[in-house]
């Protein structure tokens, strides 16, 4: 389970996130949405430990700065970055070793096949297209069997086959009781996936509600409705 409690972040005098609190349960796909500048990236970068912040973030009750939390958490950044002199396969092997796992060749083969990277496994990081980097980044996050997975704009730059596989994988992770948080502008891409809507505006959480709580509307309509009224919906959580 992911819990964010009273998260605030200033960039000099800009308050990018203002006391944000929300949670994502195991077995849930949460979407983090909001207009540009709402504070989504800052929130995600705080959760994954890239930024310092005020407040508390826990992963299965472990403080997000602890090793125990980091071992449970995987992150697919919006802009993937590769090691220029590691091959595709070596990236995934390296991630397995960094998380303290043995290299599982069958598992790596399956991921490479799934994302149509098997015949590209010997390409170097600096030889990859943006879409290929994104797919490697997704494979790296999945090979470590995370309990909580954070995906920042994961569909951008992916081809239709990869989008289909990723959606299927997200549903498999959910059925496996994992906790998934997706930040995205591409609401039509996650409409069939989401269980919980976390809406941010001006650094604050406007909604943290399940599909059952907000009704069976499509996500885009709901987004505009909630923003129009500045309506707060869902569970208050400190
Ligand atoms: P979102 O991801 O929802 O578009 P961000 O978290 O990127 O929002 O930004 C939230 C606010 O923080 C915006 O006002 C943005 O201009 C500001 N901001 C983001 N990053 C920085 C930074 N590195 N330095 C100064 N201000 C920043």
User: What would the 3-class secondary structure string for 77-124 be?
Assistant: CCCCCCCCCCEHHHHHHHHHHHCCCCCCHHHHHHHHHHCCCHHHCCCE
Distance 145 CA to ligand 1 centre (A): 31
Q: Which atom of ligand 1 is nearest to the CA of 43?
A: 6
For a ligand 1 pocket test, name from 14, 20, 47, 182 the mutation site with the most ligand atoms within 8 angstroms of its C-beta.
Answer: 14
Q: Which atom of ligand 1 is nearest to the CA of 203?
A: 10
Distance 148 CA to ligand 1 centre (A): 24
pLDDT at position 115 is 93
Distance 92 CA to ligand 1 centre (A): 31
Using CA atoms, how far apart are residues 3 and 182, in angstroms rounded to an integer?
15
**For each successive 10 residues of the chain (238 residues), what is the average pLDDT?**
97 96 96 93 96 97 96 94 96 96 97 96 96 95 96 91 92 96 89 92 92 82 79 57
Q: Where are the domains of the chain?
A: 1-72+146-157+164-238, 79-143
Residues lining ligand 1, judged by CB closer than 6 Å? Answer: 11, 14, 16, 34, 36-42
Q: Does the pTM of the predicted model rise above 0.75? A: yes
**Beta strands 179-183 and 148-152, pairing class:** parallel
pLDDT at position 234 is 64
The CATH superfamily label for domain 1-72+146-157+164-238 reads P-loop containing nucleotide triphosphate hydrolases (3.40.50.300)
pLDDT at position 236 is 54
> Strand order of the sheet with strand 54-59?
14-24, 2-11, 54-59, 62-63
Using CA atoms, how far apart are residues 35 and 227, in angstroms rounded to an integer?
9
For a ligand 1 pocket test, name from 42, 152, 203 the mutation site with the most ligand atoms within 8 angstroms of its C-beta.
Answer: 42
Which protein residue has the closest C-alpha to ligand 1 atom 24? Answer: 11
Helices 88-98, 130-142: inter-axial angle, 10-degree rounding: 30
Distance 165 CA to ligand 1 centre (A): 31
DSSP H/E element including 8:
strand 2-11
pLDDT at position 231 is 59
> Strand order of the sheet with strand 148-152?
73-76, 148-152, 179-183, 28-33, 196-201, 204-210, 233-234
Distance 40 CA to ligand 1 centre (A): 8
Q: How far is CA 86 from the centre of its chain?
A: 24
DSSP H/E element including 6:
strand 2-11
125's tokens: 């990081």
pLDDT at position 218 is 84
Instruction: Assess contact for 41 and 17: CB atoms under 8 A.
Output: no
pLDDT at position 119 is 97
Using CA atoms, how far apart are residues 147 and 176, in angstroms rounded to an integer?
9
């Amino acid at each position: 389970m992911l819990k964010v409690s009273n998260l605030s972040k200033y960039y000099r005098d800009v308050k990018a996130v203002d006391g944000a609190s929300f949670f994502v349960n195991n077995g849930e796909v949460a979407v983090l949405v909001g207009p540009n500048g709402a504070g989504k990236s800052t929130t995600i970068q705080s959760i994954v430990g890239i930024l310092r912040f005020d407040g508390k973030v826990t992963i299965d009750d472990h403080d997000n700065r602890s090793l125990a939390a980091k071992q449970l958490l995987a992150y697919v950044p919006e802009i993937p970055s590769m090691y220029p002199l590691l091959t595709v396969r070596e990236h995934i092997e390296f991630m397995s070793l960094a998380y303290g796992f043995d290299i599982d060749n069958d598992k790596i083969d399956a991921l490479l096949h799934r994302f149509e990277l098997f015949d590209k496994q010997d390409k170097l990081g600096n030889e990859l297209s943006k879409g290929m980097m994104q797919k490697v980044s997704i494979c790296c996050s999945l090979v470590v069997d995370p309990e909580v997975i954070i995906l920042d704009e994961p569909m951008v730059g992916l081809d239709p086959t990869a989008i289909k596989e990723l959606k299927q994988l997200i549903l498999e992770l959910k059925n496996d009781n994992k906790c998934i948080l997706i930040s995205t502008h591409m609401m039509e891409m996650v409409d069939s996936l989401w269980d919980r809507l976390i809406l941010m505006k001006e650094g604050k959480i406007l909604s943290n509600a399940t599909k059952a709580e907000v009704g069976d509307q499509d996500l885009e309509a709901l987004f505009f409705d909630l923003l129009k009224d500045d309506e707060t919906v869902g569970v208050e959580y400190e």
